Amino acid sequence: MKLLLVGGPPSTGKTTVVQRIIEKRKEKYKIAYLKMDVVTAHEEALICDTYGIEAKTVYAGDLCPDHAEVMILTDALKWAEGICADLLIVESAGLCLRCSPYLNQGVGVVVLSMLAGLHSVDKMKQLICFADVAVLTMNDLVCQAEREVYIRKLKTGFEHLKVLETNALQGIAVEYLCSMVDESKELDINTLELKGNPPLGTCSICMGSKKVGWKNHYGVVRQIDSNVSDYMYRGD
């Protein structure tokens, strides 16, 4: 089975990109689609009804969606294998932009909207840096000068990254993404691993406490003006 992992900030066109890929490859592969989201997602029905392929949604709820994905992924692979899929497409909600959901196998795509502006490249470094290819959407709404600068920033900041400007609505340039999937290796679950370390986040807030103020919490929490060595906070 092959794996395509699509991440990126909300409303950048991830699902549209996925749909165009499914359209181009649904004859070649038996595709399974998994959507990871936080509270609501309508993609499962959309993909299922439109293309008649197996789709599933997992809500992360209280858990960080990227953390949830790490935990759930092996289950998802088993589910996809169980229905004899030979391509699993996972779409991640990507929220805090500090995790990078990309794995040491399969194809990792980050979908970025050019409407987010030039500084967004710097702000999303952690997310972008482990992707194999960046797909730029909504480029037709942004002036040429900014497009050139945006792309230059991506190219110089992330040398390995392939950058693809696409009009996802019309499906242009999607064939290239599909060929990356075609050329990717079969998954080996036993050696599957995240490319990057997720950020630290183990504190009593993570565990559900809603109280406010330092005295109510302990764990790894950054204080204002604190040094790295001060990360551990043990409450009052």
Partner 1 sequence: MKSHITIYAGVDKNGNKENYTKIILKLGEVVSIVGHTGSGKTLLISDIEQLSQKDSVSQRLITIDDKLPDFEERFDPEKKRIAMITQNTKCVSDLVVEEFLKIHALSRNIFEKELVEKVISLANKFTGESITGEAKVTELSGGQTRSLLFADAILIGASPIILVDEIENAGINKSEILKYVKNENKLVIFASHDPAIVLATEKRIIMKNGAIEKIIEHTDADRAVLESVLEADRVIKYVQEMLRDGLELGGGM
Compute the least distance from the CB of residue 120 to partner 1, in Å: 9
Amino acid at 222: R
Both structure tokens of 231? 């990360």
Query: Is the Cβ of residue 97 or residue 163 nearer to partner 1 in the bound state?
Result: 163
CB atoms within 10 A of CB 200: 13
Both structure tokens of 119? 């500084």
Residues forming contacts to partner 1 in the complex (CB under 8 A) are 114-119, 136, 140-149, 151-153, 155, 163-166, 170, 172-173, 175-176
How many whole angstroms separate alpha carbon 161 and alpha carbon 159? 6
Compute the least distance from the CB of residue 96 to partner 1, in Å: 22
Query: Is the Cβ of residue 34 or residue 136 nearer to partner 1 in the bound state?
Result: 136
Compute the least distance from the CB of residue 146 to partner 1, in Å: 6
Query: Is the Cβ of residue 131 or residue 136 nearer to partner 1 in the bound state?
Result: 136
How many whole angstroms separate alpha carbon 35 and alpha carbon 55? 8
Alpha-helix runs per DSSP H in 8-98? 14-25, 43-51, 65-82
Residue with tokens 């991440």: 7
Contact 153, 121 (CB under 8 A): yes
Query: Is the Cβ of residue 6 or residue 88 nearer to partner 1 in the bound state?
Result: 6
Compute the least distance from the CB of residue 109 to partner 1, in Å: 14
Compute the least distance from the CB of residue 177 to partner 1, in Å: 10
